[in-house]
Amino acid sequence: MSIERSAETNEAQIAVHWKEEEYVRSSAKFIGQANLVDPAITERFSEKNFPECFREYADMLSWDRYWHTTLDTSNPPFWKWFVGGKLNVCSNCVDRHLAQYGNKAAFIFVPEPEYEPVYTITYQELFTRVNEVAAVLRTFCGLEKGDRVTIHMPMIPELPITMLACARLGIIHSVVFGGFSGEAAGLRASDSGSRVMIYSDGYYRNGKIIDHKSSADIALEAAAKAGTKIEKVLVWRRHQGQDLSKKPMVQGRDYFMDEVLLNFKRAKVDAVSMDAEDPLFLMYTSGTTGQPKGCQHRTGGYLAYVAGTSKYYQDIHPEDVYWCMADIGWITGHSYIVYGPLALAGTSVLYEGVPNYPDAGRPWRIAEQLDVNIFHTSPTAIRMLRKAGPEEPKKYHYHFKHMTTVGEPIEPAAWRWYYDVVGKREAVIVDTWWQTENGGFLCTTKPALDPMKPGSAGPPALGIFPIIYDEEGKEVPAGSGRAGNICIRNPWPGIMQTVWGDSDRFVKQYYQKYCKNSKSTDWRDWPYFAADGAVLAADGYYRILGRVDDVINVAGHRLGTKEVESACLTVPEVAEAAVVPVIDEIRGRMPVVYISLKPGVEDVERVTEQIISTIETMIGKIARPKAVHTVPDLPKTRSGKIMRRVLAAISNAMDPGDVTTLANPDIVELIRRQVQGAGPVVLKEGPEDLKQFGANE
């Protein structure tokens, strides 16, 4: 069966394919100490025990009031979890550990400069600092439960401290990745209706001091243009008493946190008891349209899900030293640097800088110095460290028991290096598939129970029941070798509540496609559409191929092609723009920009530079394209739709298929020569199981 060809192309269509690998089993030593060793768990979390199985996760938390209904499905797809329950996330992550673990490290902060000392924040100190910040937010800023605050900060301990202070008061935080531009932060702040933004003056990255506070002025301007007045900017200083920013503070608007805090020394603020369904935070992510959407996560279900998955899949015990190298500005950092590990009284390492600064041995030196035994990173970082220093891990005396990979598919060769060299064949690996919308892991092996299979994420997580549908809504069976759209048949506690301020978009994006009956209040009629292509092997292991929508996963970070296109179109000389994904050896995928210029524009080089700098200011450096091709015209259908699929095929040396029905078929060969050179057509082997998507027929 073949699917109608669309004008678009997507990541899944250009997925790299590899053969099925043999199982790899975890060591007896790992199993001997693992949190999850009882195979009966699978039965406890079987479909017949859904949704009550998730009590097991919620019972890991301390509730102010126990819930009466585990799952309320009365208003699909707006599920409610642990209804009637009350709890506070901050007191679950901090206060409740004081008696037993007060003097244990909650965070270990590693500054990027190696001459700066590492320091530890104990649970006791965290409690003190979080309370003081909560007092500032409440008394100095007048914020209360339900208000939103946008935090645009780098990886310094004040970031999680500020998040926890928000959670203590029920203030909804929206953390924007520090590497995003001021403009991107301002638009997100405006969308969330924040009155306060929180910054740092600067930070260290790749050996340089980044002036971060300068983004605040741009953010406030962007927010104002979008109709939102930010009243206060709180600025954390990386070094007390110094100012790393060249931008002056604005009187009556900007405040140094260390100065404000002088009035709140050892202040204590009661944790506000929140309903399980009160929102905890927003996390903006890219989707199909130009506007990023604010994924709204709930209090009780989210914390239960990240606590449960951190315990069973990350295998975190209080005595472990756990290092997730992601940035807290992404969902991975929220769930698996801050909330999950802290809910379990774990010790979480925060590293300020880039992995290979000053050299590719840095992560392994950190691991050696701090006795890190659980390590968590992305395929892009693995590929980068492997390329820069394939033998480096061997020089350092650390021992990992457990390692995680997340964010993109990992090819078996990179997996092997991670396993053999980084993990020294001692560490178990989990390849965890999930998304910003999901709160926590959806597919992963259970580290002590399931064998690993390089290149496959593995079976569904406990209590998750996926299905692969074709475009017509028919199930693609296991072992068929065919790809389709992976969906989750059931709700789970970590799933987002809605898109902030746009419930229609939530329903349309995730549930409309495969909803069986929009009147039904039975969850079985509401599969969640993940927008990822996947193949299910006969053994029940899922291999994720990548996005099936207009999202490009660059180094594990989501980028909407429409966002990049809109940025290009703000350059006055640009007539038309199309952005497509191209395979990149290190970063997985990168955007490539195709543009046509308005008549009479000559200076292609200058326009190209302007396009790149516009993309960086409007979105951030992360969106920097791999190439910008200025072409005479873009390939179009007769109705004028740009055929991105053809452009992606050219950039990835794949067959563009039949182009004779285009309005301008000759342009295809012209562009091909421009991009691939004048030689013969180069084509890669078309991936057999992707025929479904119409990529290679």
Name the site residues for ligand WT7 (rule: CB under 6 A): 285, 331-332, 406-409, 431-436, 457, 532, 544, 546-547, 553, 556-558
DSSP, res 460: B
Q: How far is the CB of 533 from ligand WT7 (least distance, A)?
A: 9
Residue 19 and residue 301 in contact, taking contact as beta carbons nearer than 8 Å: no
Residue 10 and residue 549 in contact, taking contact as beta carbons nearer than 8 Å: yes
Residue 316 and residue 346 in contact, taking contact as beta carbons nearer than 8 Å: yes
Q: How far is the CB of 240 from ligand WT7 (least distance, A)?
A: 34
201 or 532: CB nearest ligand WT7: 532
91 or 444: CB nearest ligand WT7: 444
255 or 693: CB nearest ligand WT7: 693
407 or 625: CB nearest ligand WT7: 407
Residue with tokens 């048949």, as numbered in its chain: 489
Residue 503 and residue 510 in contact, taking contact as beta carbons nearer than 8 Å: no
Q: How far is the CB of 571 from ligand WT7 (least distance, A)?
A: 27
89 or 544: CB nearest ligand WT7: 544
Q: How far is the CB of 139 from ligand WT7 (least distance, A)?
A: 36
347 or 436: CB nearest ligand WT7: 436
| Helices 182-192, 604-618: crossing angle, 10 deg rounding | 40
237 or 298: CB nearest ligand WT7: 298
Task: Tokens for 612, please give them.
Answer: 């790149």
Task: Tokens for 419, please give them.
Answer: 């396993």
Q: How far is the CB of 456 from ligand WT7 (least distance, A)?
A: 9
Q: How far is the CB of 321 from ligand WT7 (least distance, A)?
A: 22
Q: How far is the CB of 432 from ligand WT7 (least distance, A)?
A: 5
* Strands 321-324 vs 374-377: parallel, antiparallel or unpaired: parallel
368 or 411: CB nearest ligand WT7: 411
**3-state DSSP call for residue 348?**
strand
Q: How far is the CB of 489 from ligand WT7 (least distance, A)?
A: 17
**3-state DSSP call for residue 657?**
coil
Residue 557 and residue 580 in contact, taking contact as beta carbons nearer than 8 Å: no
228 or 332: CB nearest ligand WT7: 332
Q: How far is the CB of 415 from ligand WT7 (least distance, A)?
A: 11
| Residues constituting the chain | 697
| φ and ψ of 612, to 5 deg | -65, -45
Q: What is the rounded distance in angstroms from the CA atom of residue 428 to the CA atom of residue 413?
A: 16
Residue 665 and residue 643 in contact, taking contact as beta carbons nearer than 8 Å: no
Task: Tokens for 191, please give them.
Answer: 């969308």
3-state secondary structure 9-77: CCHHHHCCCCCCCCCECCCHHHHHHCCCCCCCHHHHCCHHHCCHHHHHHHCCCCCCECCCEEEECCCCC
Q: How far is the CB of 560 from ligand WT7 (least distance, A)?
A: 11
439 or 463: CB nearest ligand WT7: 439
> What residue number has its CB nearest to ligand WT7?
436
Residue 339 and residue 311 in contact, taking contact as beta carbons nearer than 8 Å: no
Q: What per-residue string of b and e applies to 261-297 under the rule 16 or more CB within 10 Å gives b?
A: beebeebebebbebbbbbbbbbbbbbbbebbbbbbbb
